[in-house]
Amino acid sequence: MRRTLSAFVLLASSLASSLAISPSTVDAQQRGRPGSTLLQAVEVHNAEGTIRVNGPYDVPKDREVSGDVAVLNGPVDISGRITGTLVAINADVRLRTGARITRDLVIVGGTLTREDGVFVDGEVRTQAELLRYTMQDGMIVPEEGRSSDWRPQFDRPGRPRGEAYTDLFYVAARTYNRVEGLPVLVGPRFRRPTSWGRIEVEAFGVVRTAEPIRWDRGTIGHDAKADLRLGVKRGLVVSGRLFDIVAPVESWQLTDTEAGLAAFLLKRDMRDYYSRHGWEASIGGRIGEEVSLSAVAGSEQWGSRQERRPFSLFRDEGVWRVNSAFDEGRVDLASVRLKIDTRERVRSPWWGGWYIAADVERGSGSIVRNPGPVLLPGPAEDVTYTRGFVDARRYNRLSPGTELNVRLLAGGSIGGDQLPLQRRLTMSGPGALDGYDFRRINGTEADVFTCGSIGNWPGRPGLCDRVALAQLELRQAIGFDWDDWFDGSRWWQPGFDMSPAWVLYADAGRGWTTPTGQPGIGHGKGLPPLKSFRTSLGAGIDFGGIGIYLAKAVTTSDEPVNVIVRLGRRF
């Protein structure tokens, strides 16, 4: 039986995360900030006066511990009383009957088992992802990882918050891909907090490392941004940006790390790219750490990019998938973006456990459309469109160690406008319908994955005007401790979670064109018939930092079983 292996390895993670050459950021990384589970845990651990424990920690009945307690690696077993905050990092926590914590309980990289008759006077905050860190003089310095997806942009470790800094020579790297290779950002940046808010400025040149390297826009770009924040915790943010960058057409299926490693290691780039050159300005606000709303306006010159010749570790002799040509021209854009993230709220049954990201974009301008594989480009035409996209997730804790999570995703044209190719969508491969191959070709049935036809476009770009996807996932923690296997040694910790989990899941989705198209692909108003959706089932084991899954298409019985390797959670 043929298997499709989409492997993303933890090695070379620097290809997708920023590398800051700035000694001034080290101390700021250690301090953290309450408001995010991870950063609150780091701050409590590093605070002067905290009781720090590495390994198992037990507070028996009738014993009282005064002050904050931070436990690394655990496990933690509490029957008595802690008059402060308890932080458990990469550790499971069991609260037995009669246990009491007078302030907060914060768990990162572990699970909570709670018996009846337990009292936690403050908040209970948990984050399932393992914390990867290094120790400097007894202090934790978090490493950037998948868990950063769970935190606001300004609160990520490695980007100090509330601290002034100036980097005259800052180096960062973005996602490895077949158009740019490794795009490297070089330039100055600085931040200045004030009594009324904060000023932040970045001015980066972009150097693309894929051959051929020339002194032109194929190799050199820029990305400069200035932010003015009015207010400290809650307030208004005004931003301006000038850019000449290469951007993915879609990025919701996989994380940047996964996409970059698949390209670098296996020469398998599962995104398409186009050039963006222009400006944008935005104004928005944040309500605490959980809700943000912004309005963005700008003007961009869109263009096509060809795949180049970047290095690939294991399949360098092969040929890259074609990066299809896209529409070209000047487009004025206006959008509204909303984000709600309450995944860390455990004690709030209705408000907690949500992640919602939504945006509506209105575009107008003049573009030359790519007519497809057999026709010649026509003259420029005026275009106006409205496009919406929403990704809504609900995380439900059924019992200690058991979660039932649901994700609904939909996007596409609003009102039936013909979308530019840069704004069309696909529905296939890892992150969407795991049981079907990425950009699959099957001439015996309608292509509801890319909405292509018999005359397939080079590279098989997304041609769907609308997509819809539902994902259901049941997670159950595995009841054993890795310490029993490794005799308490922690050398394995960066790659595995203290509490691995079995995962069972189902995906159902499809894309379509509006209002007409090829038989089985086009559809008018509303959702297509549910029987036309493609479904797949999967099962696997998630070790926290890496998960291995088997997925099988259900709608199409002759599809082979796919083996999927993912970093962190599926969603």
pLDDT tens-place string over residues 305-314: 999 999 898 8
> What's the average model confidence in pLDDT over 329-349?
85
Residue 473, CA distances (Å) to 110, 263, 404 in order: 19, 27, 6
Pick the range with the lowest mean pLDDT from 62-71, 124-133, 146-155, 174-183. Answer: 146-155
Question: Which bin fits 260, alpha (ψ -120 to 50), beta or left (φ > 0)?
Answer: alpha
Taking each continuous run of H as one helix and of E as one strand, the counts in the chain are: 4, 30
pLDDT for the residue numbered 127? 78
pLDDT digits over 24-58, tens only? 332 333 323 334 678 888 889 999 889 999 889 99
Question: Which bin fits 40, alpha (ψ -120 to 50), beta or left (φ > 0)?
Answer: alpha
Who has greater pLDDT, 544 or 301?
301
- Residue 183 exposure: Cα atoms within 13 Å on the Cβ side: 25
Is the pLDDT score of 6 beyond 80? Answer: no
Mean pLDDT for all residues in the chain: 83
pTM: 0.75
pLDDT digits over 446-487, tens only? 889 998 865 578 888 899 999 999 999 999 888 655 555 555
Q: With 0-12 CB in 10 A as exposed, 13-18 as middle and 19+ as buried, what is 439?
A: buried
Question: For the chain, which domains are there?
Answer: 4-16+174-566 (2.40.160.50), 25-127 (no CATH)
Can you tell me the distance from the alpha carbon of 157 to that of 145, in angstroms, rounded to the nearest whole number? 9
> What's the average model confidence in pLDDT over 553-565?
90
Who has greater pLDDT, 13 or 99?
99
pLDDT digits over 194-248, tens only? 888 889 999 999 999 998 888 888 899 999 999 998 876 667 899 999 999 999 9
pLDDT for the residue numbered 372? 79
pLDDT for the residue numbered 479? 65
Is the pLDDT score of 20 beyond 60? Answer: no
For residue 6, give both structure tokens: 């989409």
Who has greater pLDDT, 341 or 27?
341
Q: 117 phi and psi, to 5 degrees?
A: 75, 30
Is the pLDDT score of 399 beyond 90? Answer: no
pLDDT for the residue numbered 21? 32
pLDDT for the residue numbered 455? 59
pLDDT digits over 425-449, tens only? 999 889 999 999 898 776 667 889 9
Q: 42 phi and psi, to 5 degrees?
A: -65, -40
- Helix, strand or coil for residue 82? strand
Residue 149's pLDDT band, with cuts at 50, 70 and 90, is: very low
